[in-house]
Structure 1
């Protein structure tokens, strides 16, 4: 069933991209979100073609990391506490949830110890939801410039988590605003950054996110079914 679900999501991404001519020629990265799913399920998805997985919690990812026995890119998409950075840098190809200079500096320090350039995205809290982490827009420029000065980080774009609203059309203007912001950031002067990714959209809203310019989407339930808690 996972294989069929994965193919269905991939087809939906293709159809959504067709509605937005600007993204038709660009590769849209699908992250299979494996939070609360088993290593066996992860293997099934990878064997069916998933090449990138996303985890929300460092501890859960660490427990799976040594068992998976598959070549796959790992993205951290959940909030990262500074005391978990050491393990996160060892595992994750991308950390999508950087939202403060303190966290960025801690990641930079641990990456330097491993002679690693850590790819990161900056998480933006567009609508200032108190239940979500992320930098506010008015503080973004300062963080972008500070991060660009950290030599063991490679800033590659922005990440956004939209509110979970019943009327999906209400999130469309948010995705539009994030795309506008992303395009603005791409044209800023950086020494070290390579702004190429806009990560937004999950199971309930990824189609709209792609229509509005996302080139990374994070999908779990539509691939694996409801999480087992």
Structure 2
């Protein structure tokens, strides 16, 4: 974790940004509840998971101590498992999903902060809205009172050289700023969820406010230990 902080500090310095403006989501989907607890105890309160069955033990152990982020593709029929348990949903990419989250949230009397996921790279293997459809989607979503759009999310292609991901992150920031300039949503989008273990420094240089770190932070679980937390 100290190495991640050192690298993050350096990336913020290069970009002229404040360290406190970049938040880490520790992606714990491949480790146990015990390791997730160690992550929280080490000072990283934001936990990222992509399936409720795998997250349930961690949620029950850390409820009230951690902030839970749903970071994977979410099926509409799984919304009932997620809304009310996860504090943020990073992967809203279609109308049926947005409306289902809204309905579930309204039934619970809550408002769910969400990110619109955009497939900036255009890869078939990636989920997300095509960039050209983002504005129309935001226009439709503005009437859904059970969700509160806070930002955009994307996944860059895995590149051998992290620098090659820069155009993807730069474009997501441009899309956010363009959407804000059009004042489509009731409140401006302030967040950019982008950057993972392989490319988070470039993402930070391009304006990421949330980075999703798995291997580089949590490491590999081995007999109850986690290399990344040492």
Match in the other structure for 1:207: 201
The residue matched to 2:83 in structure 1 has which SS?
Answer: helix
Match in the other structure for 1:46: 40
Cα contact 1:62–1:87 (8 A) shared by 2? no
Give unmatched runs, 5+ long, in structure 2.
223-230
**Structure 1 segments of 4+ aligned residues over 3 angstroms from their partners:** 190-194
RMSD: 1.6
Q: CA 1:181 to 1:16, structure 2 compared with 1: closer, same or farther past 3 Å?
A: same
Give unmatched runs, 5+ long, in structure 1.
1-5
Q: TM-score, normalised by structure 2?
A: 0.91
Match in the other structure for 1:17: 12
- 1:166 maps onto 2:160 in alignment: yes
Q: TM-score, normalised by structure 1?
A: 0.91
The residue matched to 2:72 in structure 1 has which SS?
Answer: coil
- Superposition pairs of residues 1-229 of structure 1, within 5 angstroms: 6-21=1-16, 23-24=17-18, 27-68=21-62, 71-226=65-220
Structure 1 residue 224 displacement after superposition? 1.5
Moved more, 177-186 or 122-131: 177-186
* 1:18-46 CA distance string (max 9 Å, x none): 1112x337511100010111111011110
Between the two proteins, the alignment pairs up a number of residues equal to 222
Structure 1 residue 106 displacement after superposition? 0.2
The residue matched to 2:77 in structure 1 has which SS?
Answer: helix
* 1:66-123 CA distance string (max 9 Å, x none): 1335511111110000011011102111000000011000000000011000000000
Cα contact 1:18–1:24 (8 A) shared by 2? yes
